[in-house]
Structure 1
Amino acid sequence: MKLFGTDGVRGTANRDLTPELAVALGRAAARVLVPHGGTVIIGRDTRESGPMLEGALAAGFAASGADVLLAGVIPTPAISFLIKDEHAALGAVISASHNPPADNGIKFFDSAGMKLPVAQERAIEDAFDHPPQGLRVGRIEPLEAAATRYAAFLTGTIESEEVDLSGTRIVVDCAYGATGEIAPRVLRHFNAEVIELHTAPDGSRINQECGSTHLDPLRAAVLEHNADLGIAFDGDGDRVLLVGPDGKVIDGDRMMGIAALHMQRAGAFTPPIVVATVMSNLGLERRLRDEGIELVRTPVGDRYVAWEMHSRGARLGGEQSGHIIFSDHSPTGDGILTAVKLLEIAHLRRTSLPELAEEIPLFPQILRNVAVDDPTALASHPTVTAAVSQESARLGDRGRILVRPSGTQPLVRVMVEAIAPELCAEVADRLTAAIE
């Protein structure tokens, strides 16, 4: 049975992702990953289906002899931290990240706090229909002070004791999700003036016209309150985007660039590698190259970034969408951690994040989605590959093209970067026509 997609098991709650499926998934995961018992930590975001699926998943684990600690509503990266802090064998998060409220999902983290490799996901699928064996039933208990412990971890990642954000006005948009209580608390710890936006834990509105996928409310609030910075998280808190006082977005590429240049100039960037996906901007790659830093690219997906970072010993990586990994502190993307580390860099550099972002010039970029019946076949069709080769030759070193099938929808995704917006549009138009 095929269960896992690009980021765990996802679907519409109570239709695709039912309590019965969650019980069986917990049972199978325990059978494969903790066959001799052990502790599993479960966290969730604010979705209305979360408690239902939490109870079912916990029951599945307990039925296979695993002990379960319930962390409650908490950001996804907090589970990665708590696994190591509790010396747990496994973690699970019930969330559909930036997806709409009706969706939900289940993803797993190993004892090192990293997402599971594909081979382990396939093993769970193979064990899905096996009934529990043995008489032992695990305990299910709340994990006390989980949010407080995670907040203390975040504030402890700041290495300079002199970081003080007094006089800095920050608007925080938490997308009605899992960061709503912790993110403002952490920022106020450093004396920032925090204006809260969509911080109530409302699973019926999670990610709806707010958060990192809908930045207009944050832009408006930054301008209205004359704020120095806007910070937007997605529903489960593993990604973040920033907005400057002029409303301009600081995306994941620029955040990685800011961090990489700071670490390189501080003489602490060994190895001098940033791991990003094929979507990251050519401008970032060239700016890093000018500073002696290599950009290594992976397929789209934060877990591919994390695995490549681990294999290379890299300390920084991420995605354009705002999943940023500071591996000195966490093996997974963490929105609050990223925001805090960037604010620390700006403080140490005695400037603002928007000013630091200007040091990372990006190429104009166009993204097009073309609806097709068979994305994989069409993306590799001779007509399409010939068009890509022809347009790439025309661009030369003036830009870059990426055509790939979507991993989740019947779409071919077309990305074009070029030195001028007009050139981007022309190339994208010709490629779209070739696909259609």
Structure 2
Amino acid sequence: MTLMVSVSGVRGIVGDSLNPDVIGRWVRALAAILPPGPVVIGRDSRTTGEALSAAATAFFVASGRDVHDVGLVPTPTVQLAVELWHAAGGIILSASHNPGQWNALKFVDHGGSFLSPERFQELVAAHEQNSSPWSEARGYGGMQRRHEEALDAHCAAVLQGLDVARIREAKLKVALECGHGAGGTLLPRVAAELGVDLHVRHEEPNGQLLPNPEPTLGTLTKISEEIGPGYAFLAMTDPDADRCGFAIPGTEFLGEEWTLPLVVAHRLSQAKGPVVTNLSTSTRLDVTAERHGVSLHRTPVGEAHVVAGLRELGGLIGGEGNGGVIDPRVHLGRDAAVALAVLCEAEATQVGGLRGLAASFPTRIMVKEKLPISENEGKGWEGPLESKLGPAEDRRDGLRWSFPDGFLHVRASNTEPIVRVVAEAETESVARDRIMGARDALENS
């Protein structure tokens, strides 16, 4: 399996395309482009994470950098630590939703956000040159462990700005699926601070990930059936806890695509400002932005692109439809703990709670499909699609067509050797027809 290199990070199968030699070269490249100062390293719960994190630490130290090791924590905890501790940058060992045999390096710039596309190209150039000098013995950096300090700081940041008193008064009962991922280190403590009666599944972050670790519609449906009614809502994190799926058990309001629209609708009821999301996110956001008289801006898929849009526009709220909420009040990065906390506030303060808020949206059904694609096929699929479906309206990230009730978006994944096909419509049959049209064009090209 070839190493996957994109603005989303460097991903591979451990022992195959990803090994300590590969990690060392990328770490030295990052050390070369970051400003002076210490770096932060953290990891998710994958069983390979501790060893690979130790390798990354060694290469940073040998490059003359001091390392703050925050250990097993959510991805956004590392990002926030870089920002709060004024570090030069950092690395997160996490392959997010990929299966357990995978791992990855995610690169954090000074300021706490992932590398922008432009900064990532600087990193790639430094990696190709492979000329970063080793430090002399007296110039070696040191290492300091700051696990609890990082989690405490993250929890405090999430709580600021929330109506904690109202949430505590509501005495919410919430279910949370951590999937043995990094979310178990933080989200239960956030819920405890909010006075939430939390039923946690698979809390221990032991790396024994669920067979389907993504908070997708299918997984959330299955968990909702298992836990039954009696909860205000169900939340589910992915392995590194930057995404949060949502469900109200026993209703049609479930799926990762519900999280961001509900959070955005709640925030726009409190304040006004631009909303930023990606090209694959539900048009429910268009609806709520129009209702509140604010602008909605779409970017290519990827946290770095959405963050760049939020920075440029001074956005109020943003994120991605896979359950990734970005609240600039906390930090510019997707954060499952933020999503959980804001959903609790919405349940406690909105008329009718989250159920009433969800019911106010028009019906939108989204269907997603993954089509395997070889490296040779990776660049040749766009022409056949446009020949069959007509010219795309947006070509910034694959091809996207808009419709009155939704869209069709086809793009090559940054994290897997696949093409992602996403369709939304008022009915499932129409959404599947759109998927089928794209699939036929791809398979017959």
Larger mean Cα displacement after TM superposition, 235-244 or 360-369:
360-369
Compute the TM-score of the two structures, normalised by the length of structure 1: 0.89
For 2:57 and 2:124, locate their aligned partners in 1 and report how far apart those are by CA, in whole Å.
18
Note the 1:109-124 alignment, pairs <5 A.
109-124=108-123
CA contact (8 A) 1:165 1:192 kept: no
Residues 1:44 and 2:32 aligned together:
no
Residues 1:305 and 2:317 aligned together:
no
Residue 277 of structure 2 corresponds to: 276
Residues 1:219 and 2:224 aligned together:
yes
* Structure 2: runs of 5+ lacking an equivalent: 394-400
For 1:24 and 1:255, locate their aligned partners in 2 and report how far apart those are by CA, in whole Å.
38
Residues 1:140 and 2:125 aligned together:
no
Q: Secondary structure at the residue paired with 1:367?
A: strand
Change (3 A) 1:65 1:73: same
Change (3 A) 1:173 1:385: same
Per-residue deviation, residues 94-115 of structure 1 (Å, max 9, x unmatched): 1111111111111121121110
Residues 1:151 and 2:155 aligned together:
yes
Residues 1:177 and 2:181 aligned together:
yes
For 2:92 and 2:378, locate their aligned partners in 1 and report how far apart those are by CA, in whole Å.
30
For 2:197 and 2:164, locate their aligned partners in 1 and report how far apart those are by CA, in whole Å.
20
Residue 68 of structure 1 corresponds to: 67
* Amino acid across the alignment from 2:90: G
Q: Which of 395, 400, 408 matches 1:401?
A: 408
CA contact (8 A) 2:82 2:89 kept: yes
Residue 290 of structure 2 corresponds to: 289
Change (3 A) 1:385 1:84: same
For 1:395 and 1:65, locate their aligned partners in 2 and report how far apart those are by CA, in whole Å.
51
Report deviation, 1:435. 2.5
Residue 265 of structure 2 corresponds to: 261
Residues 1:417 and 2:424 aligned together:
yes
**Percent of counterpart pairs with the same letter?**
25
Larger mean Cα displacement after TM superposition, 248-257 or 132-141:
248-257
Change (3 A) 1:405 1:420: same
Change (3 A) 1:148 1:287: closer
Note the 1:313-332 alignment, pairs <5 A.
313-332=314-333
For 1:429 and 1:423, locate their aligned partners in 2 and report how far apart those are by CA, in whole Å.
10
For 2:109 and 2:75, locate their aligned partners in 1 and report how far apart those are by CA, in whole Å.
13
Residue 336 of structure 2 corresponds to: 335
CA contact (8 A) 1:70 1:142 kept: yes
Q: Secondary structure at the residue paired with 2:230?
A: coil
Report deviation, 1:130. 2.0
RMSD (CA atoms): 2.7
Per-residue deviation, residues 267-297 of structure 1 (Å, max 9, x unmatched): x213xx2111111223431342233222211
For 1:327 and 1:313, locate their aligned partners in 2 and report how far apart those are by CA, in whole Å.
9
Report deviation, 1:185. 1.7
* Amino acid across the alignment from 1:331: L
Q: Secondary structure at the residue paired with 1:257?
A: helix
CA contact (8 A) 2:3 2:11 kept: no
Per-residue deviation, residues 322-355 of structure 1 (Å, max 9, x unmatched): 0110112110000011110121122122432232
For 1:328 and 1:127, locate their aligned partners in 2 and report how far apart those are by CA, in whole Å.
33
CA contact (8 A) 1:25 1:60 kept: no
* Structure 1: runs of 5+ lacking an equivalent: none
